[in-house]
Amino acid sequence: MSGSGPLVISTWNHGRAANAAAWEILSTGGDSLDAVEAGARAVEDDPAFTSVGFGGLPDRDGEVTLDACIMNHAGDCGAVACLREVRHPISVARKVMEETPHVMLAGKGALQFALDQGFKRENLLTEHAEKRWRARQGNEDFKPVANVEDHDTVGVLALDASGRLAGACSTSGLAWKMSGRGGDSPIAGAGLFVDGEVGVACATGVGELAMRGVSAFLMIELMRRGASPQEACEEAIQRVARKQEIEDAQLGVLALNRDGLTGAFALREGFTFATSNAVLNELEDSRHPAR
């Protein structure tokens, strides 16, 4: 798709909520970093989205643990992994980027840092999520189901009116994951990558596939060498399909380049994404290889 900035593109049906929040900032000349953070926060806040933030489905032990990453135009990056009891991991990730010499904080240290920064501690396990967790006790089948909310990271990619790119992603990770499991979302290069001279890309779905494929970084490098965002997305997905066991797993990717061109592709049908700019506000089905 073609377009120029400002523009925002976000993963899945919850991408609509993300875009609405991001567009409020982008449409008034705001910064892409603020826009992607606001987009991710909108999804983190809504318990109806059970794969992100408050209301996210827990791990096998019934604990909600969150992963998130944010990157700016200059390539600065902040991330949190396995963060408990804080509703907005994306904002903690931004604080990691802006207030520490590090890129990622995990587990207890991430929680302590968040509390030191003034974030509120709260129970993120909603009644609905707890009920679903209880209902599956005794079920030892932990294979993620494609296209259900068990793995649906919100990825938000934006280009602002000044030509600055940014990206954010946030998730409660795979539902029923092992305790301590981190996914692709907090790992720069796997779930998200930004190069202000090239573009921004993200992945969603079964994170292990994107981690092994370093999918977000791969898309940036393909675009750097001349691929369109759509070509980069297709190659990243085909690479995963060629090199890894995908069975019926889902992986979806989005890319946006500095000219405002976008791409989307997925391993199989069912991946949706939302695009908003001055003339467009649309939810679409991603293309996928014929299977």
Judged by the rule CB under 6 A, the positions of this chain that interact with ligand GLY are 151, 153, 171, 173-174, 183-185, 204-207
Output 210 or 220, the one with its CB closest to ligand GLY: 210
Give least dist CB 173 to ligand GLY, A.
Answer: 4
Output 72 or 153, the one with its CB closest to ligand GLY: 153
Output 154 or 222, the one with its CB closest to ligand GLY: 154
What sign does the dihedral 25-31-32-34 (CA atoms) show? negative
153 is catalytic: yes
Among residues 11, 50, 153, 275, the one annotated as catalytic is 153
Runs of H (alpha helix) within the chain: 15-26, 32-45, 89-99, 107-116, 127-135, 207-213, 215-224, 229-243
Output 89 or 207, the one with its CB closest to ligand GLY: 207
Give least dist CB 140 to ligand GLY, A.
Answer: 20
Give least dist CB 208 to ligand GLY, A.
Answer: 7
Tell me the C-alpha to C-alpha distance, in Å, between residue 67 and each of 58, 130, 136, 184, 267.
12, 19, 23, 9, 23
Give dist(CA 107, CA 10) in Å, integer. 27
Give least dist CB 115 to ligand GLY, A.
Answer: 24
DSSP state of 89: H
Give dist(CA 51, CA 188) in Å, integer. 20
Cite the active site residues. 153
